[in-house]
Amino acid sequence: MKLAVALLAVTAAVVAGSANAAAPPPSVSCVAGGTTSFTHPPRGTDSVLFVYSPTVFFTWVGGSKHVATPVTVAVGDSFDATFYNGQTPISSVSATCS
């Protein structure tokens, strides 16, 4: 009986530890006159499409996780980043440029 209780406690601890070890959600940031970057892309991401207000966009494919923010982007402009695996969107996140 004590062994069964001990095994259940160990199993619960392992499950709780696994839940805490989940990857953080993707995040993006934009600095007007600086860089746009992202962290924690979802597993399988091979490109990211950034769409700024009103009509500026660019696509990241491999390489560095930060690029020059387009010069037409101003402080307070918002943008969306959609993470893709091939042609399939797998996640998206929005932010505001600072």
Q: What CA–CA distance (Å, rounded) separates 85 from 6?
A: 43
User: Which structural domain range is residue 53 located in?
Assistant: 25-96
CATH at residue 69: 2.60.40
Percent of the chain exceeding pLDDT 90 equals 58
Tell me whether residue 5 is in a domain: no
pTM over 0.85: no
Tell me whether residue 3 is in a domain: no
Tell me: pLDDT of 65 over 60.
Answer: yes
pLDDT, tens digit, for every residue of 10-53? 444 444 455 567 889 999 999 999 999 999 999 999 999 999 98
C-alpha distance from residue 67 to each of 2, 19, 33, 62, 96 (Å): 58, 33, 11, 11, 16
To the nearest 10°, report the CA torsion of 10, 12, 14, 19. -170
Q: What CA–CA distance (Å, rounded) separates 77 from 25?
A: 22
Spatial CB neighbours of 7, under 8 Å, sequence gap ≥ 6:
none
Tell me whether residue 74 is in a domain: yes
pLDDT, tens digit, for every residue of 67-89? 899 988 999 999 999 999 999 99
Instruction: Give me the amino acid identity at 77.
Output: D
CA angle 95, 96, 98 (to 5 degrees): 130
What is the domain count for the chain? 1
Q: Are strands 78-85 and 88-96 parallel, antiparallel or unpaired?
A: antiparallel
Tell me whether residue 18 is in a domain: no
User: What does the pLDDT read at residue 96?
Assistant: 95
